[in-house]
Amino acid sequence: MTMPLSEAGLAVEQHWRELASRRRLYTAGGLFILFIALSGSLWFANDSNAGKFFDRLPHFFDFVDQMIPRDVFDVWRAMFDLPSPYADGSLKFDYPEGRMYLFGSFYLPEYVYKMLETINIALVSTLIGFAFGFLLCFLAASNLVTQRWLRFFVRRFLEILRAFPEIVIAGFFLAVLSMGAIPAIIAVSLHTIGALGKMFFEVVENADMKADEGLRAVGGNWPERVWFGIVPQVMPNFLSYGLLRLEINVRASTIIGAVGGGGIGEVLRLSISRNHEAKTIAIIILLFCTIVAVDQFSAWLRKRLVGEQAFAFGRGD
Amino acid sequence: MTTLSLTDMQAISERHPDVFAGSWRKALTGWAVGLGLVAYLAFAWWFFAVGAVLASGNWGIAGTYLADWVSYEVRPQIDFKDDRLDISYPRFSAYRADRHPQWLSFEQQSATASAASANKAPASRVTVEIDGSDRIEVTPTGVVVTNGGETLDIAIVPAKSITVAGELPAWATQKKPGEKITVDFGFAGSAQIDADDVNVRHRFFGWENFFFDGHSPYWGKSTGEVLSLVLSGERIDPKMSNAALAWDNIVNNSEWQHGDVWIKMLQTIVMAFVGTLFASLLAFPLAFLAARNITQNRLINQVAKRFFDFLRSVDMLIWALFFTRAFGPGPIAGISAIFFTDTGTFGKLYSEALENIDDKQREGMRSVGASPVSVQRYGVVPQVLPVLISQSLYFWESNTRSATIIGAVGAGGIGLKLWEAMRTNSDWENVAYMVLLILVVVFIFDNISTALRQRLIGNKASH
């Protein structure tokens, strides 16, 4: 049924075929490289792991079995530091030991207290990071700073703060200040300055410069231009990014806690390594609920601040 | 340009007081937020006992630790033994009784008197040149320290007494007469002089023995010498070529452990790569179930979405600790942790991307009677695939950083190695090396990921 093609038509067909086959070749090549990289990686990962994947897999559920507490209410008791009927003097069931008495017989359960500590680490770090990120971001924005060297310097500084591994900062200050929350605060704050500073200056660079032009026209100096021309426009976005950071920092300070920075991360690590099932489950529930609550609260507030834009969410970075 | 006079300004503000009054509520909110922040920070100061912790910090040692990042010390020890001096070095030093640094010179003790063990060099006079004319001269009866033109003369009766002639200069300290004296040469080092021995700490910029450690035949040779040996020298080890020997020596360098560090770095990279890839592959089909415009079943949507939230909220740390227990420390634990967390993250991101697609293409596919699978394949996937891949690439880079951190809790990779190096408080130069390696890798991946994303979705990829 096909009509014979003219010479021009044949040329077009020929070109199309070549293009299509080249694309197919590229796709296949890309997938092949990906496949090779993946198999190599998997082999390497399995080879250098302490336990081999297929040897350990059958025992995986043994381990899950070990995580089940003696009864469901023991989780409850561990969470609120109530005495356990299984108390035998060991660390495993010494729930009331951890009580933090505030006044009289009113106490905070140990894990709630630790959770509060972690949240406070995250909050303080986010505030510090926000403050310094705020101060630095205007110096890195190309629409506000004409000196290239200053922008370059501030941007590299922020990049280094962002990419520098948090555990190294935490580890360094752990060595200087001994155990505690402050190394965690310093580590998370420094990282937050870098991360927020970067997001902030991108927001500033996208700001509407008309307000700034107006202020410049009436002779406003640089701080006035920034404060009255730029800040009111970018503040909702800044706050939104700050809240996003808070979500991330709650997770980050938990992790830093696990390597010696105090808070809930540390008790979680200890509890898992000591096989205290009820305690572990209690901490996981508490941590899970906190993270969900912080995420929900932050999402709600961000939506109020910047509307639908608020859906960018992240982790790590 | 018209300029308003002061009276004009006042007249205008009187005519429109409401414009210039400013809102009370706004002003109050500003103050309330400010006061709240100050109050909270004060509370935090008290809660974390910031003042007490900072005051009790060992800040003196912080300077040494920081200096260790980019410099190293060589620590010869000179023992007073009745009529002679014994020079020795710490156990892991590259210097030995038969191999001394250039800045340390000594007069050999006659061989007959030498009863020293193999790792000690006997001497009758030792001169340690610290910096220019700054030096320490040790004889069996005394020590003469020259620093910045001043000279400190210390008379020593081995194992009995230590006496200073005259006043101590500002750079020397002694807690009590008869106790050890510490002399400080600033960055170049310090020395502790006691009645039994002299401990010198001579500091240099750079990383010591970065390529070859003290056991290597290439140790202490200049780049040119090493190159000429590798290219045209006689075989040092008959079993292998000089190049292979050099490579072997570098990889197995006992101080820097290059081989091990590279393997651990590779583990971290692999953890991020495989974890992210698997998470993308699993999240992709699940996201179709979670997107309410594609799977029109509220129950399935909700179940899938809550499942993603669960995976994401349990947090990478918990998954990491959990899988470390299950699989033992190593990259499999790290891969699993990243895989679980990011399946949740990608599921959420992908399903949001799917819910924002343009419906026209699907309609077109449906109107020509395509099967449901074809509708998705040609009506949906081409629209979202670049976005999805771009998001995965973005997280690949960010996961390389996360993998470092979860490594420290036991999930393997460079994180654990880094943590171990920091724990000993003596290997800060190794920490600096690993940090540099991580920064370089993250930088490279950042650029690859950004470049790929820009090709996929254009300039939207900037962050």
ipTM of the complex model: 0.83
User: Nearest Cα to A247, choosing from A298, A185, A284, A198?
Assistant: A298
Rounded Cα distance, B143 and B151, in Å:
10
Which range (A8-17, A120-129, B417-426) has the least confidence?
B417-426
Binary contact (B271, A45; C-beta < 8 A): yes
Do residues B301 and B347 both lie within one domain?
A: yes
Q: Which two tokens stand for residue A292?
A: 């969900």
- B451, part of any domain: yes
Do residues B281 and B420 both lie within one domain?
A: yes
Q: Which two tokens stand for residue A78?
A: 């561990």
Q: What average pLDDT does the segment B151-173 reach?
A: 81
φ/ψ (deg, to 5) at B230: -65, -40
A220 touches A229 (CB < 8 A): yes
Nearest-by-Cβ selection for B263 from A48, A180, A269: A48
Do residues B201 and B214 both lie within one domain?
A: no
- Per-residue pLDDT at B461: 47
By C-alpha distance, the chain A residue nearest B319 is A284
Q: How far is CA B200 from the centre of its chain?
A: 29
- B57, part of any domain: no
- Per-residue pLDDT at B279: 95
- Per-residue pLDDT at A314: 45
Q: Express each pLDDT in B389-426 by its tens digit.
A: 888 888 888 888 888 888 888 888 888 888 888 888 77
- Give A258's contacts in chain B (Cβ within 8 Å): 317, 321, 409
Rounded Cα distance, B261 and B258, in Å:
5
Q: Is A185 in CB contact (< 8 Å) with chain B?
A: yes
Residue B459's pLDDT band, with cuts at 50, 70 and 90, is: low
**Chain A 99-158, CB below 8 Å of chain B: which residues?**
117, 120, 123-124, 127
- B50, part of any domain: no
**Chain B 53-112, CB below 8 Å of chain A: which residues?**
53-54, 56-59, 61-62, 65
HEC assignment per residue over chain A: CCCCCCHHHHHHHHHHHHHHHHHHHHHHHHHHHHHHHHHHHHHHHHHHCCCCHHHHHHHHHHHHHHCCCCCHHHHHHHHHCCCCCCCCCCHHHCHHHHCEEEECCEEECHHHHHHHHHHHHHHHHHHHHHHHHHHHHHHHCCCCCCCHHHHHHHHHHHHHHHHCCHHHHHHHHHHHHCCCHHHHHHHHHHHHHHHHHHHHHHHHHCCCCHHHHHHHHCCCCHHHHHHHHHHHHHHHHHHHHHHHHHHHHHHHHHHHHHHHHCCHHHHHHHHHHCCCHHHHHHHHHHHHHHHHHHHHHHHHHHHHHHHHHHHCCCCCC
Q: What average pLDDT does the segment A104-108 reach?
A: 82
- Give B47's contacts in chain A (Cβ within 8 Å): 117, 120
A269 touches B409 (CB < 8 A): yes
> Can you say whether residue A316 is alpha, beta or left, with left for phi > 0 and alpha for psi between -120 and 50 degrees?
left
Q: Considering only residues A36 and B171, tell me which one the structure prediction assigns the higher pLDDT.
A: A36
Do residues B288 and B421 both lie within one domain?
A: yes
- B28, part of any domain: no
User: Nearest Cα to A233, choosing from A141, A129, A132?
Assistant: A141
**Chain B 338-357, CB below 8 Å of chain A: which residues?**
341, 345, 348, 352
User: Min CA distance, A313 vs chain B (Å)?
Assistant: 9
Q: Is the pLDDT of residue A188 over 70?
A: yes
User: Min CA distance, B123 vs chain A (Å)?
Assistant: 39
- Per-residue pLDDT at A1: 60
Nearest-by-Cβ selection for B327 from A34, A49, A168: A49
- Give A49's contacts in chain B (Cβ within 8 Å): 327-333, 412
Q: Express each pLDDT in B301-348 by its tens digit.
A: 999 998 998 898 888 888 888 888 888 888 888 999 999 999 999 998
Q: Express each pLDDT in A151-171 by its tens digit.
A: 999 999 998 898 888 888 888
C-alpha pair distances (Å), A142 with each of A137, A154, B23, B416: 10, 11, 33, 40
Look up tokens 């990049």; give the residue.
Answer: A159
- Looking only at the bridges linking them, the beta strands covering B189-193 and B197-205 are antiparallel
- Per-residue pLDDT at B60: 80
Q: Is A258 in CB contact (< 8 Å) with chain B?
A: yes
Which superfamily, per CATH, for A110-311?
Answer: MetI-like (1.10.3720.10)
Rounded Cα distance, B425 and B260, in Å:
19
Nearest-by-Cβ selection for B463 from A171, A202, A251: A202
Binary contact (A268, B312; C-beta < 8 A): no
- Give A199's contacts in chain B (Cβ within 8 Å): 463
Q: Is the pLDDT of residue B447 over 70?
A: yes
Residue B463's pLDDT band, with cuts at 50, 70 and 90, is: very low
Three-point CA angle B141, B147, B149, nearest 5°: 110
Nearest-by-Cβ selection for B313 from A53, A120, A291: A291
B293 touches B354 (CB < 8 A): yes
- Per-residue pLDDT at B166: 75
- B452, part of any domain: yes
Q: Is the pLDDT of residue B462 over 50?
A: no
Bridge partners (DSSP) of residue B131 are B134
C-alpha pair distances (Å), B81 with each of A54, B267, B307: 62, 52, 74
pLDDT exceeding 90 applies to what percent of chain A?
A: 35
**Chain B 422-441, CB below 8 Å of chain A: which residues?**
422-423, 425, 431, 435, 438-439
Q: What average pLDDT does the segment A263-292 reach?
A: 88
Q: Is A171 in CB contact (< 8 Å) with chain B?
A: yes
A269 touches A254 (CB < 8 A): no
- Per-residue pLDDT at B144: 84
Based on the structure, what is the number of domains in chain B?
A: 3
- Per-residue pLDDT at B339: 94
Q: What is the CATH number of the domain that holds B287?
A: 1.10.3720.10
Do residues B180 and B268 both lie within one domain?
A: no
Q: Express each pLDDT in A127-142 by its tens digit.
A: 999 999 999 999 999 8
- Per-residue pLDDT at A316: 40
- B65, part of any domain: no
Binary contact (B419, A259; C-beta < 8 A): yes
Binary contact (B312, A315; C-beta < 8 A): yes
Nearest-by-Cβ selection for A45 from B47, B61, B274: B274
- Per-residue pLDDT at A309: 57
Do residues B95 and B183 both lie within one domain?
A: yes
Q: Is the pLDDT of residue B248 over 90?
A: no
Q: Which two tokens stand for residue A74?
A: 């023991």
Do residues B178 and B223 both lie within one domain?
A: no
Q: What average pLDDT does the segment B425-445 reach?
A: 88
Binary contact (B316, A255; C-beta < 8 A): yes
- B42, part of any domain: no
Q: What is the CB neighbour count within 10 angstroms for residue A229?
A: 21
Range of the domain at B138: 71-205
- Per-residue pLDDT at A308: 61
Nearest-by-Cβ selection for A49 from B40, B309, B332: B332
Q: Which two tokens stand for residue A262?
A: 């105090």
* Domain coordinates in residue numbering, chain A: 1-47, 110-311
User: Min CA distance, B351 vs chain A (Å)?
Assistant: 12
Look up tokens 């630095």; give the residue.
Answer: A136
By C-alpha distance, the chain B residue nearest A113 is B47
Q: Is B9 in CB contact (< 8 Å) with chain A?
A: no
Q: Is the pLDDT of residue B112 over 60?
A: no
- Per-residue pLDDT at B119: 65
pLDDT exceeding 70 applies to what percent of chain B?
A: 96
Do residues B187 and B114 both lie within one domain?
A: yes
Do residues B310 and B447 both lie within one domain?
A: yes
Q: Is the pLDDT of residue B26 over 90?
A: no
**Amino acid letter for position A68:** I
Residue B282's pLDDT band, with cuts at 50, 70 and 90, is: very high
Bridge partners (DSSP) of residue B73 are B203
Rounded Cα distance, A303 and A313, in Å:
12
Binary contact (B331, A317; C-beta < 8 A): no
Rounded Cα distance, B387 and B396, in Å:
14
By C-alpha distance, the chain A residue nearest B404 is A165
Q: How many CB pairs under 8 A join A and B?
A: 192
